[in-house]
């Protein structure tokens, strides 16, 4: 948990095959108390052309957080995502 009641919930699914670890799925949720502020996931939405630039990575944001999605250029299946997430949280909630 971060200051100001902010917390990051991480769910990652990996496979290990032939000596290689591969991230297959993830969900990253940012919460303040019991309120989910936004989240990231790689669920494909091929019918949404605004997400094509970072397909399948995207961010769910208010209003209508479940259906309002924007591209997520900082996420990847091939690079660690935690540094991006920590930097975003710091910039969003702790830089005054």
Question: pLDDT digits over 3-23, tens only?
Answer: 889 999 999 999 999 999 999
For residue 96, name the pLDDT band (cuts at 50, 70, 90): low
For the chain, domain boundaries: 3-93
DSSP class of 80? -
Distance CA 38, CA 61 (A): 5
Reported pTM: 0.90
Place of tokens 């208010």: 62
Residue with tokens 């997520």: 72
Residues 6+ apart with CB under 8 A from 95: none
Q: How confident is the model over 14-62, as pLDDT tens digits?
A: 999 999 999 999 999 999 999 999 999 999 998 999 999 999 999 999 9
Sign of the alpha-carbon torsion through 40, 56, 72, 45: negative
| Entry field: residues in the chain | 96
């Amino acid at each position: 948990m971060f200051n100001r009641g902010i917390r990051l919930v991480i769910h990652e699914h990996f496979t290990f095959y032939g000596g290689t670890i591969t991230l297959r799925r993830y969900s990253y949720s940012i919460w303040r108390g019991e309120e989910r502020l936004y989240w990231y996931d790689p669920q494909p939405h091929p019918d949404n052309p605004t997400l094509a630039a970072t397909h399948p990575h995207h961010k769910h944001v208010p209003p209508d957080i479940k259906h309002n999605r924007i591209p997520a250029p900082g996420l990847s299946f091939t690079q660690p995502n935690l540094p991006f997430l920590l930097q975003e949280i710091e910039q969003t909630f702790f830089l005054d």
